[in-house]
Chains A and B, each alone.
Chain A
Amino acid sequence: MKTLTQLTLALSVAVSGAAFASPEADQKAFQKFYESRFSQVAEGDFINGVYSILPAAREQWEAIEEFPPYEPEVEIGEELYNTAFANGKSFADCFDTPAQRENYPYWDADREMVVTMERAINECRTANGEKAWGWKKGKIAALSAYMSYESRGQEISVTIPEGDEGALAAYNAGKEMFYTKRGQLNFSCSDCHMYGAGLNARADTMSPAFGHASHWPVYRSKWQAMGTLHRRFGGCNTNIRAKPFKAQGPEYSNLEYFLTYMSNGLEFNGPGARK
């Protein structure tokens, strides 16, 4: 009888708790989930993705990081940052410093939308009469790699402005995206990267979602190139046969907002290298 009462209690707490949970409470429970499941992981180390929980693969990865495959991209990005637009201005007229990661993503209350660093890069271009770059790879990834490199060590500290219903709705939309099952294979992000973290999907061990937003863009050996976080979102959706959303559209921007907020307190350590 006691266990039954406990179970009923636990269930009602789970349900009512989920309905009214504040972002702060969500974040606390999210981080606690990973910290207790992977208690062997040193504080702050979830930024290293699957390597935080796979000591054997980590050695190989650390060897790769000694001659990082993203280094040429960082150099290209630096050049892009310092090259003047046709109107004589440059990115330095939009950003006070290239070390911008800690300022993104943020909720823009005037425009009622989440602004990512990639969006800010392209908006700087179009504001200066240049064409926007493609969102998922190429120049935007190179510039974002340079800016991330310059931002290494900054703390992830996304805010959901108190009392702003739009911001809360964007956060909740991202949260819903993370926990809903999609595609013919009927998986949610959380099935794989939360409840399945540490287990294998085909040849890959699935990484914890705590830390997922810390290290972008990423040089992936599978891509043989750099790609942005939204490129990766699209890949994970396609793998389960869910039609991916547009990079930098509201769905993935809100997802980034939620996911980055869940990792508050960790450090930005991009760009990264992954399989």
Chain B
Amino acid sequence: MKAIKGLVVTGALALAAMAHAGSHGMSVDALLEKAAAANANAKSLGYEWTITAPAIKNAQKALAAGNADEAKALAEQALFWAEASVFQGENEGQSWEMRVPR
């Protein structure tokens, strides 16, 4: 049962990765805006990860310092984490009851 659950979540995270693969042509600003919105959504679900907001901040810093490549990589990372945490929240809200012992 546990292995199956693990698979489902891995699947959800993979989906999140695919969703974000569609964001490659985006500017760093647009990526960051999207990441911040997704992170706010994760927070409202109660599923914010500790690493997302710092990654957004670091991307902004890198952008301000003129390190465009680093900024883009960090922003993509942040967006991936933000979207994955939203997936987690939506998925868990549905499926946690299967873990309650009977």
Contacts and interface: CB of A to CB of B under 8 A. Distances in A.
> Quick one: which of A21, A183, A194 has the most chain B CB within 10 A?
A183
Interface string A174-203: 011001111110101010001100000000
B92 interface: yes
A243 B49 contact: yes
Contact of B101 (A19, A29, A181): A29
Interface residues of A, number: 31
B64 interface: no
A190 B92 CA distance: 13
Given A18-B100, A29-B102, A243-B43, A181 B92 contact: yes
A199 to B, nearest CB: 12
Contacts of A21: 100, 102
B50 A19 contact: no
Interface string A151-179: 00000000000000000000000011001
B101 A30 contact: yes
B: contact size bracket: 20 to 34
A241 interface: yes
B40 interface: no
A76 interface: no
B11 interface: no
Contacts of B65: none
Interface of B is mostly: helix
A181 B88 contact: yes
Given A180-B92, A181-B88, A181-B92, A18 B98 contact: yes
B100 A186 contact: no
Contacts of B9: 181, 186
Nearest to B2: A195
Interface in B66-99: 81, 84-85, 88, 92-93, 96-99
B50 A33 contact: no
Given A181-B88, A186-B88, A195-B2, A17 B102 contact: yes
Interface of A: 13-15, 17-19, 21, 26, 29-30, 32-33, 175-176, 179-184, 186, 188, 190, 194-195, 238, 241-243, 245, 251
